[in-house]
């Protein structure tokens, strides 16, 4: 799938997670009530130890983290 010629270390399209600094924020899509696809409705960190999420609901941004490790 990758067609990188040049040997660069560019990760690609997704931004790094600023919370843990290790994971990558992956976009998640959802479907609205009318069946329309909502592209990139939420972003989730690929690091399971982080669990950082960003959601967009009707223009409102919600930040959250999964309670992976109680502190
Ligand atoms: Zn993270």
Tens-of-pLDDT digits for all 71 residues of the chain?
A: 555 555 445 556 788 999 999 999 999 888 888 999 888 889 999 999 999 998 888 888 888 876 555 55
> How far does residue 11's CA lie from ligand 1's centre (Å)?
15
Compute the distance from residue 41 Cα to the ligand 1 centre, in Å. Answer: 17
Q: Tell me if 27 is assigned to some domain.
A: yes
pTM higher than the cut 0.85: no
* Cα(50) to centroid(ligand 1), Å: 5
C-alpha span between 4 and 57 (Å, rounded): 35
Does the residue 59 lie in any domain?
Answer: yes
Identify the three-state secondary structure at position 3: coil
Distance from the alpha carbon of residue 56 to the mean position of ligand 1, in angstroms: 18
Range of the domain at 49: 13-71
- pLDDT, residue 3, reads 58
Residue 23: the pLDDT is 94
The total of structural domains in the chain comes to 1
> Within a domain: residue 7?
no
């Amino acid at each position: 799938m990758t067609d990188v010629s040049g040997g660069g270390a560019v990760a690609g399209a997704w931004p790094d997670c600023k919370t843990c600094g290790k994971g990558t924020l992956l976009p998640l899509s959802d479907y609205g009530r009318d069946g329309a696809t909502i592209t990139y409705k939420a972003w989730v960190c690929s690091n399971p130890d982080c669990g950082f999420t960003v959601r967009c609901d009707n223009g409102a941004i919600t930040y959250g983290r999964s309670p992976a490790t109680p502190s």
